[in-house]
Structure 1
Amino acid sequence: MDIKLAPDQLLSQVNQFWSMLDDMAENSPQSYQKFIQRHLEEGKESMAPPEQHLCLQTKILDPDEQLLFINICEWKKIPSPESDKHPVPLMAGELKDISDGAVISIAYSPEVLKKADKDPTEQDQLIRLAMKYIEQQHKVTLCHSYCIAPFKLKGTVQQMRRSLEGIGQKQKKTKGRTEDVPDRSLLDQLRNIAVKDEEKEEPKTPIVIMAETKTKPNVGLIEVMSSTELNEDDLAPPPQHELSVIRDEAGSPQKLILTAYLQGVHSVSRCDLNVSKDDLMLEVPGKFKLHLDLPELVNEDTVTAKYNKANSTLTVTMSVL
């Protein structure tokens, strides 16, 4: 819960803060220097800009079909979840149209992304969390298939940072121009007192003391997707699979064969398979989820599926129209 302080209460806290620092500087200069240095280092880290990590390519299917690029970024100001049972914090920029589609930037904690780099399943879950967020916030339907682009960032670094760093700021209109007005937090009050006539981009020592509160971000700054908001099946990883196109002597496609390895699945009754003319959805609730856009149109009435219990392999055969 956010607690709004009255101006007199806020100034009282600021005065107590300065008095405490004055006493420390006078009675224990060494402790004062260590205290200031520590918060300078923490403040510098918390004020670091977001950095590119990887770029995804997928498609918006509805309301208008177009390519979508998702910049997955890392940002030190975003906290890591307290434990594996807590929701993963993320921050999202605006969804913007570009010449060859649309682009949006999503930022996670560097620690979260570092852990995901070592575990493909966890990386896939973070990606699908980002896609679910985009669908919910922007009222669009995305293709469930995606690929990692050969480049780390769509657009420029400056565009990505402006998109993410602009979140949480209000727009105040003045004659002839628009001015960004950030929330009036205690940090801003300290900045105005401490640097009065200095540039706000160059904060002095007392300002960074507020780095201690970086694990409690302002409301609206970081969107937290609770595990209760997403079904377990939405984050289920795709199984290992291979889709083959069988062609005749003339090179025309005749059949599509999907082979999916469902490790730990001991009964075909747990599998839910749906095939339409142009896509395939395979689900094992709570374990696997696979959605594929088929490279050829198929005859839904002739689809066959066989499950081999010995090696936990499902083979789906589809005749091309």
Structure 2
Amino acid sequence: MDLKISPDQLLSQVNQFWSMLDDMAENNPQSYQKFIERHLKEGKEFMAPPEPHLCLQTKILDPDERLLYINICGWRRVPSPESDGHPVPLIAGKLKDASDGAVISIAYSPDMLKKADKDPVEQDQLIRLAIKYIEQQHKVTLCHSYRTAPFNLRGTKLQLRSSLEGTGIKPKGKAEDVPDRSLLEQLRNLTAKEEDAEKPKPPIEIMTENKTRPKAGLIEVISSTELSEEDLPPPPQHELSVIKDEAQNPQKIILTAQLHGVRSVSCCDLNVSKDDLILEVPGKYRLHLNLPALVNEETVTAKYNKANSTLTVTMCVL
């Protein structure tokens, strides 16, 4: 991202900014405290990850017929429309292939979703808007009949965040080359540029798919819970171990699963949430476990040993 301000100019603004804060802290401590609290709150809300709201299941009819899961989520980075007559802003992730179809994430303002929960007509309008966007953006034809899935997220929160991260809202009525950022945000972006210059961020815009790729993991964290119980493959032989410290507090949970007949880890789909785990090898195995302790889903690691067809999943306890 190119900053439209030189380092010298930015340093001058920083000095003015801190001088202003010093004066405020000395002459009006109450206003200073309110100012700091307000900016901390706004920063926390802006940096909060998207939250799953509901998951829809429909079909892509053309060019290739397949299932489509639409993750509808709330994200503070998406503003509410200025009025009932203004367009509804949304942010969309990339349409991605899944083991049993495709998945895409759509983010609305949390206030819009909260309002839609009280009005089925408005909720249906948001869903229709998402469907229309997907058709226009990805040149596909969708079945306009849909149903709400029994889960509120297809995939994991980490995948959801990776899908939407880097997208944002374009300031209305501003030229693309005119910065519209607070001084604090400029400082944050400048630091990010210096530390990660080889990874330029995509342009910020409304209603756009994300052009960045999430970091590849050992196993793609994708799973399906759409099959009925009688259609599900059998679970593999497995063992779940809890590693404790000297005080007998759980530190790690380790799953070992024997996946006989599986040649490659690419055949495996793994989905780990804070309290459960789903492992699938389409047509061969399916394992769903409730974990004995809450785990950090963003630090899960998985290794597959081809010699003995053993998958080892390590999860750190929160």
Distance 1:150 1:191, change over 3 A: same
5+ residue gaps, structure 2, are 169-178, 196-201, 209-318
The answer for the alignment partner of 2:262 in structure 1 is: none
| Offset at residue 104 of structure 1 (A) | 0.4
**How many Å separate the matches in 2 of 1:194 and 1:162?**
21
Matched residue, 1:71: 71
SS in structure 1 opposite 2:89? strand
Q: Structure 1 pair 156/193, CA: closer, same or farther in 2 (3 Å)?
A: closer
Tell me the CA shift for residue 56 of structure 1: 0.5
Q: CA deviation at 1:45?
A: 1.7
Matched AA of 2:101: G
- 2:165 counterpart letter in structure 1: E
* More displaced 10-residue stretch of structure 1: 17-26 or 110-119: 17-26
Compared CA separation, residues 184 and 77, structure 1 to 2 (3 A) = closer
User: Which whole-Å CA distance do the structure 1 matches of 2:3 and 2:187 have between them?
Assistant: 16
Q: Is the 8 A contact 2:68 2:101 kept in 1?
A: yes
1:191 maps to a residue whose letter is: R
Residue 192 of structure 1: how far off its partner (Å): 7.4
Deviation at 1:47, TM superposition (A): 1.5
C-alpha change, 1:28 and 1:187, in structure 2 (3 Å) is closer
Give 3-state SS (helix, strand or coil) of 1:145's partner. coil
Confirm whether residue 16 of structure 1 aligns to residue 13 of structure 2.
Answer: no
Q: Aligned partners of 1:191 and 1:123: how far apart in 2?
A: 36
1:140-177 CA-to-partner distances (Å, cap 9, x unmatched) read: 11111111111111111111111112436xxxxxxxxx
Residue of structure 2 in register with 1:36 after alignment: 36
Tell me how far apart the structure 1 counterparts of residues 189 and 161 of structure 2 sit (CA, whole Å). Answer: 25
2:166 touches 2:204 (CA, 8 Å); kept in 1? no
> Matches of 1:153 and 1:142 in 2, distance apart?
20
Counterparts of 1:137-148 in structure 2, within 5 Å, are 137-148=137-148
AA aligned opposite 2:68: L
Which residue pairs with 2:284 in the alignment? none
Residue deviations 1:1-27, cap 9 Å, x none? Answer: xx9733154444333222211211222
Q: Report the structure number with the largest CA radius of gyration.
A: 1
TM-score of the aligned structures, taking structure 2 as reference length: 0.53
1:39, distance to aligned residue in structure 2 (A): 1.5
3-state SS, counterpart of residue 71 of structure 1: strand
Residue pair 2:91, 2:107 contacting (<8 A) in 1 also: yes
1:160 paired residue number: 160
Q: Percent identity?
A: 75
Distance 1:53 1:189 in 2: 31
RMSD (Å), alpha carbons? 3.1
Correspondence for 2:133: 133
Asked if 1:59 is matched to 2:59, the reply is yes
Q: Distance in 2 between matches of 1:166 and 1:63?
A: 29
Distance 2:92 2:35 in 1: 34
Where does 1:253-264 land on structure 2 (aligned, <5 Å)? none
Matched, 1:123 2:107: no
Distance 1:222 1:104 in 2: 16
After superposition, the C-alpha distances for 1:90-149 in whole angstroms (9 at most, x for unaligned) are: 011111001000000000011101111111111111001001111111111111111111
Structure 2 Cα separation of the partners of residues 42 and 189 of structure 1: 15
Which structure 2 residues correspond to residues 200-211 of structure 1 after superposition, within 5 A?
none
Residue 222 (str. 1) matches residue 219 (str. 2): no
Residues 192 and 70 of structure 1: is their aligned pair in 2 closer, same or farther, counting only changes over 3 Å?
closer
